[in-house]
Amino acid sequence: MFASLFGFGQDPSFSQFYSNPLYLNPAFAGSNHDARIGGNYRNQWPRIPGKWVTYNVFGDIYAPPLMGGLGFIAMQDVSGEGLLSTSSVGIVQSFERPIPKIVRIRAGYNVSLVSKRIDWSKLTFSDQLDPTKGSVYQTAAIPTNGRTFVDFQAGFILDFPNFRIGHSVFSNVFGMSFNHLTQPNQSLTGGVHAPLPLKTTLHYNMEISVGQENPNEKSFYISPNFIYEKQNEYRTFNFGVYVTKDPLIAGMFFRMKKATSFKDNDALILYIGFKSDLTKHTTMRLGYSYDLTISGLAPNTMGAHEISLVFEWKNTNLRGKKSSRSKNAKRIDDCMDFGFKSLVF
C-alpha cells in the first residue's frame, strides 16, 4: 500500500481485454464502425486484506467525417479497503487510414485527468498510540490534499485483410499502446518525485471464421490471442483463445511472468459470456471471468472476479449530412475486406 503512495504500484489490469477496448488501446475508438457503451467491474484477491476493486465505464462512436472515432473512458480504482483511490476521466479520438488490400491503419490518443486521494481517517500513526489505551492522541502528521494531474496515452492498430482457406475466413489484428507518455508525478507526499512509469502493451488477435460460406457470418469462430504488458519491472504474457458459438462465448488464457517458462504462471483465466440481440439494431454482450491464481499466492487470494457489460447500436455514427460526406470517409466505409468490426468479446 505505502509503495503506491510513493508511486511504485502498477496500473489496474483487466482480464477481459477486448471488453474494455479503449483501456487496452485508444485506437479502438470507433473501431466497430457503430456506437457502443460498456462497463467493467473487477474485484482482485478478495481474501487478502486491503483488496483491490476497479470500476470502468467507456463509450465510443464511429465518426466518418473525422475519418475515425470519438470516445470517453472513466475509471475508479480503490485499494486498501478504500484507503487509496485513483479516479480518472478521459477523452479519446482515433484516426483511420486504409491502404486497400494491404492494411487498415488506426492511431489514437487518450487525454485523461487523474486524481489520487488518501482517506486519512483510515490511517493510524505512531504518535496517536498510548501503550495501554491504544489510539487516543491527535497525530502531528499533516494530511495532503492528494494529487491531480493530466495523463496521456497513444496507440496504433494494424488490421490486415481477410483471407480464405476453404470455407474458413482468417483475419489478423496487431496493436501497440503506450500509457503515461509524460510520466507525470503521482507522489502523494511532499518533497518526493514519483513519476508514473511508462506502460507498454502489445496485442495480437486472429479470428478464424470456421466453415462459413459468407465471410460476414460469424456464428462459429475461434480467436487465438496474445497480449504483453510491461510497466517498470512488472511484465505479463497472456496467451489464450476465445471460442464463439452464437450466442455463447467461452475463453481460456494463461497469464505468465515469463513467456518461456510455465513455472512462472500467475493465473489461469476462465471466461464465459453471451450476446443477445435486444432489437434489430441493439446488441448486448455480458461476460464473466475468473482468474484462478496458480502462483505461490494461490491459497490466500480467492483469485479475481470480473464482469463486463457492453451495448452496441448498429448503423449509429456521427456521419452527419449525406451531402457533406468526404470521399475519404466513403472510401473507409467501402473498404470492408478487414475483420475489425467483430473484435469485441
CATH number of the domain within which 262 lies? 2.40.160.40
Domain count, the chain: 1
- Position 214 scores a pLDDT of 57
> In this predicted structure, which of 144-148, 206-210, 262-266, 305-309 has the lowest mean pLDDT?
262-266
In a domain, 130, yes or no: no
Q: Determine if residue 179 is left, alpha or beta; phi over 0 gives left, psi from -120 to 50 gives alpha, anything else beta.
A: beta
| Beta carbons of 32 and 62 less than 8 angstroms apart | yes
In a domain, 128, yes or no: no
pLDDT at 227 over 60: yes
Residue whose C-alpha cell is 453471451: 274
| Beta carbons of 343 and 173 less than 8 angstroms apart | yes
- Position 23 scores a pLDDT of 96
Residue whose C-alpha cell is 503506491: 4
More confident residue, 100 or 137: 100
In a domain, 134, yes or no: no
Question: What φ, ψ does residue 64 adopt, rounded to 5°?
Answer: -55, -40
Distance CA 167, CA 253 (A): 27
- Position 26 scores a pLDDT of 97
- Position 128 scores a pLDDT of 55
In a domain, 210, yes or no: yes
pLDDT at 216 over 70: no
- Position 141 scores a pLDDT of 59
Taking only Cα atoms into account, the Rg of the chain, rounded to an integer number of angstroms, comes to 22
At residue 71, the 3 state secondary structure works out as strand
Count H helices, E strands: the chain? 4, 16
For the residues 188-210, what does the mean pLDDT come to? 88
More confident residue, 66 or 258: 66
In a domain, 298, yes or no: yes
For the residues 224-245, what does the mean pLDDT come to? 93
The model's pTM: 0.84
In a domain, 132, yes or no: no
> Which residue range is the domain that position 161 belongs to?
2-120+142-342
pLDDT band at 221 (very low <50, low <70, confident <90, very high): confident
77-98 pLDDT tens trace = 988 766 788 999 999 999 999 8
Grid cell, residue 343, equals 473484435
pLDDT at 331 over 50: no
- Position 27 scores a pLDDT of 97
Q: Please report, to the nearest 10 degrees, the dihedral formed by the alpha carbons of residues 24, 30, 33, 39 taken in order.
A: 60
* Average pLDDT in the chain: 82
pLDDT at 7 over 50: no
- % helix, strand, coil for the chain, step of 5: 15, 55, 35
For the residues 22-35, what does the mean pLDDT come to? 94
In a domain, 268, yes or no: yes
In a domain, 107, yes or no: yes
For the residues 300-321, what does the mean pLDDT come to? 85
pLDDT at 222 over 70: yes
For the residues 67-77, what does the mean pLDDT come to? 96
